[in-house]
Amino acid sequence: MKKYRLGIVGATGAVGQEIIRLLELREFPVAETRLLASSRSAGREYKACGNLETVRETTPDAFQGLDFAIFSAGGSISKQFTEDARKHGCVVIDNSSAFRMEPTVPLVIPEINPSSVEKHKGVISNPNCSTIVALMALYPLHKRFGLKRFFASTYQAVSGAGASGVTELENQARSVLGTSEQTSPEVFPHPIAFNLIPHIDEFREDGYTKEELKMRNESRKIMDHSGLKVSCTCVRVPVMRAHAMSLNAEFKHPVNVPDAQAAIEAFDGTELWDLPNALRYPMPLDYTEKEACGVGRLRLDQVFDNGLALWAVGDQLWKGAALNAVQIAELLIKQNLLRVL
């Protein structure tokens, strides 16, 4: 089997570390794992794919000889170095929002729109974590009933803000419980321990946040559904890992719960956990470090004529970021699409 030389930009961060884990777990055919990060992290050593690797500083020439580079270091780094990677013949899979809405850049969830990668010109974008979890639940229902619009309320774990978000929740929880000194919010705009914050990303003039509009805009692009209507509220919750969301969707055709359950069960990458009388429904603890997304609480919506209400959960560090990126790399290999135009 041919092996490939892979770079990870942001290798020392939360998503970068999960990419390394998943490459190993999925036995990705790696010839070299090149760990790239800021100058502050250069020189650190990490185990990666069976070897002890030294982190290098991300520079324009750091991509020489690589087949892929997965970027997980924020939009500014992606914009700064993506063209350098392409010049070296390296295909970029980008986890940031930098290129998601660019018309020439595919925005890919491999279970949903794998053919989109055929049009890539050296850059492929990973969707936002909440968009991925939502569409892993809604897309199989769309195929069966034809999605018209949906409302989403997301409950997003603190690790979505990085390792510092986890530390802030831990420190604040200790403070509230009286086991440590009081701390002030730094990562989040308000205390997160034992609290909910209905605010993720920057507010716009229309009252929505950028995070909330990602759900609408990215869903339209991924599903090739320009008329899709979406209203979303994103909430940060004091949960360590795995995002959850309540979804209410209206469809073009009459719906029923048994057919909806069958569509979810048949869809690769999504599991049906829907036995409410047995207290069986997906929760963040169940889907932490799990590749699949979980769907439950499926029922007829009492507002929409052809509507379903449902609950979805997925690990935003895995399927919402690292796993989806690795799956895109696997898809490029499978379809023999490792080229830069």
What is the CATH number for 243? 3.30.360.10
CB 229 within 8 A of CB 304: no
pLDDT of residue 55: 96
Do 146 and 57 share a domain, yes or no? no
Quote the pTM value: 0.96
Number of domains in the chain: 2
Do 75 and 214 share a domain, yes or no? no
Domain that holds residue 19: 4-127+321-334
pLDDT of residue 178: 84
CB 55 within 8 A of CB 42: yes
pLDDT of residue 182: 78
pLDDT of residue 341: 65
Kindly report, residue by residue over 205-243, the tens digit of the pLDDT. 999 999 999 999 999 999 999 999 999 999 999 999 999
pLDDT of residue 64: 97
Do 41 and 147 share a domain, yes or no? no
In a domain, 340, yes or no: no
Regions of the chain with pLDDT less than 50? none
Do 170 and 213 share a domain, yes or no? yes
* Residues involved in catalysis: 129, 243
Do 196 and 79 share a domain, yes or no? no
Distance CA(191)–CA(183), nearest Å, equals 9
Distance CA(152)–CA(308), nearest Å, equals 12
In a domain, 341, yes or no: no
Do 149 and 286 share a domain, yes or no? yes
Do 85 and 160 share a domain, yes or no? no
Helix (H) or strand (E) holding 241: none
Distance CA(257)–CA(242), nearest Å, equals 26
pLDDT of residue 183: 81
Do 112 and 220 share a domain, yes or no? no
In a domain, 339, yes or no: no
pLDDT of residue 264: 98
| Per-residue three-class SS string for 170-205 | HHHHHHHCCCCCCCCCCCCCCCCCCCCECCCCCECC
Do 94 and 12 share a domain, yes or no? yes
Do 140 and 109 share a domain, yes or no? no
pLDDT of residue 1: 80
